[in-house]
Structure 1
């Protein structure tokens, strides 16, 4: 009956033994979760957030972990929704909050006094009477300064009891605690509500970051959120930063903080202290500073035939360009993210997509680049469309004349400089 209702009512579902098994599993898991909460069998892991400009760790996010005695590590995606359904999230959330505050004080004692801690808060916790006192008590008991605590809320928290939630969040801000809007862009709330939230920070969901260097829509959404947030006076965190290419793209677009496996996975508190101490001693604060030190005009060559790339490089390197080359469109997007490329030369017949399709995506993400197709195959319509849309600057044919192609590339760099001026 409940499954039928969940699928829009006026429908039917057949009974199966799996329904009983699932229900029994959830009841058993609920009881075991309560036992784990009562006996503090859960743990808190921490994932660092890195300043995009300085590379320093400015914040750590507290994340609940449950090491089940027989089932092993149970995903938070399984037990957190269950805790919200059963109301156990209140006790669980309070325990995580107090533990995170105590650990943050210990972290400060190790010398990392500029590092704050973030704790996720469920909408159910925010609607519970006395939640403000819970936050104040956690700060008082631990001795953590209020400005070193940040509570993360999802934007959909405003879908119910909007006035009460906003009032609670304002009261929390009056304590000096910071507020971050988590998973921004994936909820259902209105921007008219977002402007009412007393937030300090917006976190762009990993769903937009995953393909940000190669998908024009994800890039546009990410760039738009960063711009909007900065105009509202908010800092921006990008979640799910898994590669240096992701990080470089986000730095170029003025994202403030980066979080993801490119820097560190969630870890127990003891490992966090060791990680931060080693990082400080290694003096690797300036992550990616080498990315910006690119004085030479930079040219990207893309062709699925390595011999063509070698021949082109041999012809063009005498003009003093910094030449990047690849046979893969995916790698080409990574090279564009991690380097300041001015001119791109792409083959038309590539396995993943055509050269004109690739350059159309590049135009949307990196509109300042000068884009050239070099091909022995001519699809007149796609080339004409790409030229008319401004996706490509020129179409050159194979085989090429060495003198002429050098002149074309020189003109492309002159065109780039003129456009910049």
Structure 2
């Protein structure tokens, strides 16, 4: 009962955190749905992205995009920010209190919210109300929001970063993608737009371009995520350990679409992960593709190679082989030359474009020198073997092809591990640079404060003497210099030696003290203040007040 009352108190306090309070939505039954984001190294769920859903009385549950369309048409009011954030915090609090203490949720930031300097502090206040740390929430903003902020963009990003919030550059590539935004050191991650993922996975030129973008983001210390991943081919493109695409995270139907809280609870409880073949560190059986239009040849080769424990894929034509390669990667391809519809050389050229890391071998009884030579010169063919074949020699050629492929894969995996280590180092450097900048700014502010304090004390008519933590004289204002002028140079000397009458017994060890003394025939009350009680300052101050009220 008491826990329930505490929760009610928390939510009441959170409701007042943002000015747009939780208003009842009479026209719609809105709900939050969460889309899982999985890591491509472990395959486990890394975080969530929250989306708004609408339970329409006739159309059923509408997606976030459909909600936005209905809102633009005036048939659905946009949910108040406080309502959405309060529900999000309530759900996240429940998950973190259960078995997922590090779970994070990403929230799309609208342009107006990004430009509002009050939004960040209000958001932090709401997180505090639910006992959630700032890094439990990631704010995602696209380039349109950055452009909307104009000249205030850098200030808004710096403010959100200073509050401890994580920032992601969202939908990168969907609009006029700017490398200037990618270079901005405020972002912890960049998320590639869904249409870009689809185009890059299908087009070699786009794939090469986005490989460079991903590598650049990693060099800048940012994680790279891809959204809207729908197919196994797109997933393989993003996670391939030897093609240098190597995204860090993905989200989309290939793993799961947006889920309601109950559905997500089931997923969390199941511990489901991404299929092992899509992970950076995947290991799988040796896969061999045999392509020939003669079934008896395929059967003979399969019987011969079965003892070597290869995972064998059979295709009766070049077209069938290309269709299989589009869905499954293979290590070694053995193809006949003369096949109806497509020559083996042409098939291997296209296979190279789809699966460039495979080892490709031609096996044929026909020696059409020109087409075979062209294919070899282009790099489409690794070896040319003739029919009929010697069984042991053929097995040796296949084993050699797998050894070469595995050496290349091992080298690429080592390269990937080095890149991953460099990525982590770059991210750590970015954090250190940010901490250094913040420290330098704090030092500058402290210096300004110190100079102001010193100038203020210089103009005080009261004699003030500053001592460091060893009792050495570090400061005298003008009044103190005039009063103690007969004592000579005092800076840098021990107060107990040159001004013993100003220090009562144990004064330097105590917190504060007061005693009387006589200076040049005038009685003074000496006030001793120990510094560091309310700040990081060290040492102490001595203030001299004459009995007649004058310095």
Band of TM-score, shorter chain: 0.7 to 0.9
More off after superposition, 302-311 vs 322-331? 302-311
Aligned CA distance change for structure 1 residues 331 and 124 (closer, same or farther; 3 Å): farther
Residue 38 of structure 1: how far off its partner (Å) = 5.8
Q: Aligned equivalents of 2:254 and 2:139: distance in 1?
A: 24
Aligned CA distance change for structure 1 residues 84 and 325 (closer, same or farther; 3 Å): same
Residue 223 of structure 1: how far off its partner (Å) = 3.1
Aligned mate of 1:292, from 282, 285, 294: 282
Is 1:272 aligned with 2:261?
no
| 1:66-111 Cα deviation digits (max 9, x unpaired) | 122233333432432564798x997555533332222111111222
Aligned mate of 2:249, from 250, 254, 257: 257
Residue 169 of structure 1: how far off its partner (Å) = 2.2
Aligned CA distance change for structure 1 residues 149 and 243 (closer, same or farther; 3 Å): same
Is 1:335 aligned with 2:328?
yes
Q: Aligned equivalents of 2:337 and 2:88: distance in 1?
A: 54
Q: Aligned equivalents of 2:331 and 2:306: distance in 1?
A: 15
SS at match of 1:54: coil
| 1:281-310 Cα deviation digits (max 9, x unpaired) | xxx56851798344x754332456655433
SS at match of 2:100: coil
SS at match of 1:161: helix
Is 1:126 aligned with 2:114?
yes
Is 1:114 aligned with 2:107?
no
CA contact (8 A) 1:166 1:197 kept: no
CA contact (8 A) 1:100 1:119 kept: no
Partner of 1:11: none
Equivalent residues in 2 for 1:194-205 (5 A)? 194-196=182-184, 198-205=186-193
Normalised to the residue count of structure 1, the TM-score between the two structures is 0.74
Partner of 2:454: none
Is 1:312 aligned with 2:332?
no
SS at match of 1:183: strand
List gaps (5 residues or longer) in structure 1.
Answer: 1-34
Q: Aligned equivalents of 2:100 and 2:363: distance in 1?
A: 53
CA contact (8 A) 2:292 2:339 kept: yes
List gaps (5 residues or longer) in structure 2.
Answer: 1-22, 412-551
CA contact (8 A) 2:54 2:63 kept: yes
CA contact (8 A) 1:372 1:393 kept: yes
Aligned mate of 2:362, from 373, 387, 399: 373
SS at match of 1:267: coil
Residue 374 of structure 1: how far off its partner (Å) = 4.0
CA contact (8 A) 1:342 1:368 kept: yes
Aligned CA distance change for structure 1 residues 190 and 238 (closer, same or farther; 3 Å): closer
| 1:322-351 Cα deviation digits (max 9, x unpaired) | 132143323223331xxxx44222356789
Residue 168 of structure 1: how far off its partner (Å) = 1.4
Q: Aligned equivalents of 1:353 and 1:243: distance in 2?
A: 27
More off after superposition, 268-277 vs 150-159? 150-159
Q: Aligned equivalents of 2:345 and 2:199: distance in 1?
A: 20
Aligned mate of 2:162, from 150, 174, 195: 174
Q: Aligned equivalents of 1:144 and 1:343: distance in 2?
A: 51
Partner of 1:390: 379
Equivalent residues in 2 for 1:87-166 (5 A)? 91-128=79-116, 130-166=118-154
Residue 140 of structure 1: how far off its partner (Å) = 3.4
Equivalent residues in 2 for 1:68-79 (5 A)? 68-79=56-67
Q: Which has the larger radius of gyration?
A: 2
| 1:264-297 Cα deviation digits (max 9, x unpaired) | 2211112212220122xxxx56851798344x75
Q: Aligned equivalents of 1:130 and 1:383: distance in 2?
A: 69
CA contact (8 A) 2:114 2:149 kept: no
CA contact (8 A) 2:53 2:67 kept: no
Residue 237 of structure 1: how far off its partner (Å) = 1.6
Aligned pair count?
375
Q: Aligned equivalents of 1:377 and 1:183: distance in 2?
A: 52
The structure whose RCO (Cα within 8 Å, separation 6+) is larger is 1
Residue 152 of structure 1: how far off its partner (Å) = 1.4
Q: Aligned equivalents of 1:185 and 1:256: distance in 2?
A: 17
Residue 206 of structure 1: how far off its partner (Å) = 2.8
Aligned CA distance change for structure 1 residues 307 and 153 (closer, same or farther; 3 Å): farther
